[in-house]
Amino acid sequence: MSWIKLTSLGFEVPPSFPTEDYDKVRSFLEKYKDTHPAQCKSFGLGWHGLAYRYRTLVEYDKQFTNSVKVSNSPPPEERYNQGKALFGFFVNALSVIECFFYSTYCIASILKPDVFPISKSKDLKFYPKDVASKYGTCFSGDCLSIKMNQCLHESKYKEMKDMRDVLTHRGMPPRAFYVGGDRDGMATMPVNIKDPSDQWHFDLPVDAQTTAVHRQWLCGKLNSLMAAAVDFCNQRLNCVL
């Protein structure tokens, strides 16, 4: 399928990106740019970042997948390219989620500025779990609150976060290679990469699905979160003006 031009930013995004709902949420915030400029500017930071990171992760997924289809044990230069793509994929994938949660914090700040303050730099030092917790308290029962909480408790999110954290702060995961037996020809990485090295289990296959399965999960999750954000804005923001 052809990529779609995201009119608000002027560049193309993959067809899996929830373009329509993305623009709907953005249009809701446009109404508040004069009455709530700080919230809207901060929202724009996260919302733009979300689209940029999504396109980037899809590009890195394609690079990694195409390379490992050729070889899961390539020469050093191509092994470097695979490592770069792996890093780029997981860092950008987590950034999509974090940009979404940051943006929803800014949306909530329009409704409850005392609970979701943005006036000082320390106000913006939070994690997705902090945003989800505040939404659970202030907007209990709302679909968006439920969807955000579910996202952070799914195994794929934890796998992605663990890999991102290790790639960013510790280094490049090693690979195990197999000759003979059930895993003949396979390459694997530690599935519990955050644990001490003597406890690693090399059960994460390095193949065409390594990044692809996480991309597919993120695509479905983002579409679900974005639809919930549209519903939240429609139900909540329309009552403010």
Domain positions in the chain = 4-172+207-239
Provide the 8-state DSSP code for 178: -
pLDDT tens-digit readout, 95-120:
999 999 999 999 999 999 999 999 99
pLDDT tens-digit readout, 197-223:
999 999 999 999 999 999 999 999 999
- Are the beta carbons of 236 and 28 closer than 8 angstroms? no
DSSP state letters, 198-216: GG----EE-STTTTHHHHH
Q: Model-level pTM?
A: 0.95
